[in-house]
Chain A
Amino acid sequence: MEYLLFLIATVLVNNVVLVSFLGLCPFMGVSSKLDPSIGLGVATTLVMTLGGVSSWLLEHYVLQPLGIGFIRILAYILVIAAMVQFIELAIRKLSPSLYRALGIYLPLITTNCAVLGVPLISVREGHDLTQAALFGFGAALGFTLIMIIFAGLRERLALSNVPAVFAGPPIAFVTAGLLAMAFMGFGGLI
């Protein structure tokens, strides 16, 4: 039960995109259509969960015992990039259809700052392994949720009567800001 509340808190209250403002690049870049958004969201979920787990293991079995916590960012990026490359190779071999669906997003997700930011926040909060895994999963779930909502909004915006100066990215940013304000309403929920 406690883990369920933890998950809800990560998805809604501390949403990685609208509250922590991480991962804004793919959020603005890929969310103009619904299908790529779903693909990117699913791929990010895979990467962030595994990234959260591997970063926790790295932190507690390598960085802290050796007292080299100051290279945390470098070490995390190294491990995450290698892991994403490994996932891409594995998916390409084991499931060609899955590779065609989301293979192109995997290198894109490596450079997503949320994929680095979520393990770093995890360290700051002092999570244990289960919490770190759930945190990664929940953050990516929140990311996917926001991508889908935003893709739906942008598809509607593309068809509506937006003033010419606002058409395209400007109205998208304004909408993102309004959506962030709406998600502030979840503050204090848990």
Chain B
Amino acid sequence: MIMATLALALMGVLLGAALGFAARYFAVTDENPMIKEIEQLLPGGQCGQCGVPGCGAAAVGMVEGTLPVTCCPPGGMGLAEKLATLLGVTLDAGEMAAPRLARVEANECIGCTRCYKACPTDAIVGASGQLHCVLLDACTGCGKCVDVCPEDCIDLVAQEPSLDTWRWSKPQAA
């Protein structure tokens, strides 16, 4: 019993140490470390508003130069400025698109439930036969609900910063 415990513990320690050394020895270093750094700065909502599938692809695009630093609307101007200093590109202040969030047109909604089933972040509230409503805090603006609505009553509207939506911490976080 003691021998079994000791043997397993010793094997665990030795194998763990071996794997640790192997991770250092076999570390992959030729991937540009800038890509990882930029990916960590991006919001991570995988919404696709930048035009490429996911934040990982956007990071690669920005490092390679195929995407401008202003391509991320949920990140906002703060993120664009931070990325511009990181990548060493000049920032064209006027080009930023405001973040777009979904909005249900209440007069036309028939309560079919298709949009909230499509929402990947669970940002739509509603039930069958009831009006659906978008929770702006949870919406990432991916557009999946817009595609499935049979009445065409959801659109993505640009959010102007207001006293309620402007956050001091956002530019610092980015």
- Please report A residues at the B interface, Cβ cutoff 8 Å: 62, 66-68, 70-71, 74-75, 78-79, 82, 85-86, 89-90, 92-94
Contact = CB atoms under 8 A, between A and B. Distances in A.
> Which of A68, A74, A92 has the most chain B CB atoms closer than 10 A to its own CB?
A68
18 contacts: A62-B11, A68-B7, A71-B4, A71-B7, A74-B8, A75-B7, A75-B11, A78-B8, A78-B12, A79-B15, A86-B18, A86-B19, A86-B22, A89-B22, A89-B23, A90-B22, A90-B26, A93-B27
B93 interface: no
B28 interface: yes
B163 interface: no
B31 to A, nearest CB: 10
Contacts of B22: 86, 89-90
Contacts, number: 43
Given A78-B15, A86-B18, A86-B19, A93 B28 contact: yes
B55 to A, nearest CB: 20
Contacts of A67: 3
A40 to B, nearest CB: 23
A71 B19 contact: no
Given A82-B18, A82-B19, A86-B22, A68 B12 contact: no
B4 to A, nearest CB: 4
A71 B8 CA distance: 9
B interface, over-half SS: helix
A85 B26 CA distance: 12
> Which of B12, B22, B27, B28 has the most chain A CB atoms closer than 10 A to its own CB?
B22
B12 A92 contact: no
Interface of B: 3-4, 7-8, 11-12, 15-16, 18-19, 22-23, 26-28
Contact of B3 (A66, A85, A86, A94): A66
Contacts of A78: 8, 11-12, 15
A interface, over-half SS: helix
B26 A92 contact: yes
B7 A85 contact: no
B89 to A, nearest CB: 29
Contacts of A70: 4
A75 B14 CA distance: 13
> Which of B11, B16, B18, B23 has the most chain A CB atoms closer than 10 A to its own CB?
B11
A66 B11 CA distance: 14
Given A79-B15, A82-B19, 19 more contacts: A62-B11, A66-B7, A67-B3, A70-B4, A71-B8, A75-B11, A78-B8, A78-B11, A78-B15, A79-B11, A82-B16, A85-B19, A86-B19, A86-B22, A89-B19, A89-B23, A93-B27, A93-B28, A94-B26
Nearest to B10: A62
A89 B26 CA distance: 6
A78 to B, nearest CB: 6
A82 B7 CA distance: 16
A68 B11 contact: no
Contacts of B26: 89-90, 92-94
Given A90-B26, A93-B27, A68 B3 contact: yes
